[in-house]
Structure 1
Amino acid sequence: MALVSVSKLLFQADRGGYAVGAFNANNMEIVQAIIRAAELERSPVIMQASQGAINYAGLEFISGMVKIAAESSSVPVALHLDHGTDFEQVVKCIRSGFSSVMYDGSKLPLEENIAMTKKVLDIARPIEVSVEAELGKIGGTEDDIHVSEKEALYTDPEEARYFVEQTGVESLAIAIGTAHGQYKGEPRLDFERLAQIKSLVKIPIVLHGSSGVPDESLRKAIKLGVCKVNIDTNIREALVWTMRKVMAENPAEIDPRKILGPARDAAVEIIREKIRVFGSSGQA
């Protein structure tokens, strides 16, 4: 089937009390793993590409792979730009056929973030491309975007209300204690802040930096209004650790298919686990 908008998937999730997984698609094996896992679980799915993935694989390769996967799939698939900090990059992704984009103006002053988000909405909304924005800084590193612990700020609920009122954005990524990359300890999420934000904005909430967050914390966050959960690091771990294991057991192996094949299978399993935690199994 054709690509669908993230907004459509998230508003259905909001009504249904579950979340849709947004998994970073960095290469062919990961794209195949995501779609395989989604089909096995009968779950809608979001494949997203960061600016780093686009620089690595090329915009047309990323969009082409995901479109082929979606067209041959029996479950709804969206293609989303993750952490688009450059307006021109956002435009290029829309032109390339992305069904959703994130404009990340979280490092900008509030009014500038609002102005830029509205600029993105002006070009995306008429062609039914959904838009995600971010308010508050999520710690850690996402490709070339780094936010130190000192810089990381929780999202202010009243600012969130004002931001959504001023922009009319369709989903909002908030900072409540998660971080990009691998955690050094167990993350502690501010559930009270999440509940307050959700009561004020009335739109789907997005949780970034979710790899490493305990399953029970994710379930609680979803119960409180999170409808999109981003996962990248857990997939990288499953892929790379399996590749290392295969190469250690077979040091003479030179066939990449025999190394990447088992790694892809491992990625399928971790994605299926996350889909079950998110509650989206059987929702396709």
Structure 2
Amino acid sequence: MALVTTTEMLKKAQEGNYAVGAFNVENMEMVMAVIAAAEELQAPVILQTTPSTVKYAGLDYYLANAKVAAERSSVPVAMHLDHGSSFDLAMQALRTGYTSIMIDGSHGSFEDNISLSKSVVDACKPSFIPVEAELGKVGGKEDDLDGGEGSAYTDPMEAKEFVERTGISSLAIAIGTAHGLYNGEPKLDLDRLSEIREVVSVPLVLHGGSGVPEETIIESIKRGICKVNYATELRIAYSDGVKKVLNEAPETIDPKKYGAAGLQFVKDFVKDKIVVCGSKGKAKEVLACDALA
């Protein structure tokens, strides 16, 4: 089927108290792996690319991979710009055909974040493309993203005002997760999450899902998270698959052989996270998504 937006996906997840897995993809094999896992478990799925990934090959290259994968699949697939770093990049993704856009103005002031986010919402609205924004700062570093030290958690009342003034479709919140690998076990402020859920009506997003204990992810979903982002662990899984082949057979020169191993490792990881998110078997619920040609 054609690529769909995240609108119906996250709406159904919010109604059903589960989350949709959102997976950052770096190459064709990772796209194939995510779709194969979603197809096998009949789950809706979101493919994502960050600005640094886009810089490597271009929005059109990654979108082309996603479109072919979605058209060969029977499950809902969305293509999302993760951490859009500017209005211009968000508009490039919109014009290229991405079906979901994130604009990340969290490094600016509260008012600047509102202004930037609203400008992207207004530009995407005529095309019915949903917009995710971030309030508070998710810590750690991944790609060119740097949350810095002592990143601010999301204030519930600011979140309420932010959603009302911007008109965003979903909100990424900061409750203690970080991009990249954690030093020790992360401690999430789940009470803060519950407070935000009480005053914010749009679906909530958890960034930095890689490395968070499964029981913590499950509890955060119970408290209102509708989308969970995974990136670092997909890279690790793919690399581990490639290394396994090359360590066992250093003379291997066919990229398809170690690519297939990386694909399988990523597929196994994604299947596990789909189950954790509770989206297994939920594809039928969102097949009425707003499919885009």
Q: Per the shorter chain, which TM-score range? A: over 0.9
Please give the alpha-carbon distance, in whole angstroms, between the structure 2 residues aligned to 1:16 and 1:117.
27
- Gapped regions of structure 1 (runs ≥ 5): none
Describe the superposition over 1:42-96 as per-residue Cα deviations: whole angstroms up to 9, x where unpaired: 0000001111111112211101110111111100000100000111110000001
- Residue 142 of structure 1 deviates from its aligned partner by 2.5
Conserved 8 A contact 1:37-1:268: yes
- SS of the aligned residue for 1:146 comes to strand
Contact 1:154 1:177 in 2 (8 A): yes
Residues of 2 paired with 1:90 and 1:166: CA distance? 19
Q: Which residue is 1:133 aligned to?
A: 133
Which residues of 2 match residues 30-69 of structure 1 at below 5 A? 30-69=30-69
- Once structures 1 and 2 are overlaid, which stretch shifts more, 141-150 or 7-16? 141-150
1:242 Cα deviation (Å)?
A: 1.8
- Hey, what does 1:16 align to over in structure 2? 16
Alignment of 1:210 with 2:209, yes or no, is: yes
- Report if the CA contact (8 A) 2:241-2:264 is conserved: no
**Cα separation, 1, equivalents of 2:3 and 2:241:** 31
User: Does residue 1:84 correspond to 2:74, yes or no?
Assistant: no
Residue of structure 2 in register with 1:229 after alignment? 228
Correspondence 1:1-284 to 2 at 5 A: 1-150=1-150, 152-284=151-283
Q: Distance in 1 between matches of 2:66 and 2:206?
A: 22
Tell me by how many angstroms 1:175 deviates.
Answer: 0.4
How far did residue 183 of structure 1 move?
Answer: 1.1
CA contact (8 A) 1:27 1:57 kept: no
Which amino acid is 1:239 matched to? Y
For the Cα contact (< 8 Å) 1:140–1:180, is it kept in 2? yes
Quote the Cα distance in structure 1 between the aligned partners of 2:56 and 2:264: 23
Deviations 1:107-136 (A, max 9, x none): 111111111111101110111100000000
Residue type of the alignment partner of 1:66: A
Equivalences, count: 283
2-side partners of 1:249 and 1:80: how far apart?
36
Amino acid at match of 2:168: V
Alpha-carbon distance in 2 for matches of 1:202, 1:188: 25
Distance (Å, rounded) in 2 between the aligned partners of 1:86 and 1:217: 32
Where 1:14 maps in the other structure, the secondary structure is helix
What is the TM-score of this pair, normalised by structure 2? 0.95
Task: Flag as ranges the 4+ runs of structure 1 deviating above 2 A.
Answer: none
Q: Percent identity?
A: 50
TM-score, normalization by structure 1:
0.98
Matched residues in 2 for 1:81 and 1:148: separation? Answer: 22
Query: Any conservation in 2 of the 1:182–1:212 contact (CA below 8 Å)?
Result: yes
The code of the aligned residue for 1:58 comes to: G
State the match for 2:290 in structure 1.
none
Choose 132-141 or 244-253, whichever is displaced more: 244-253
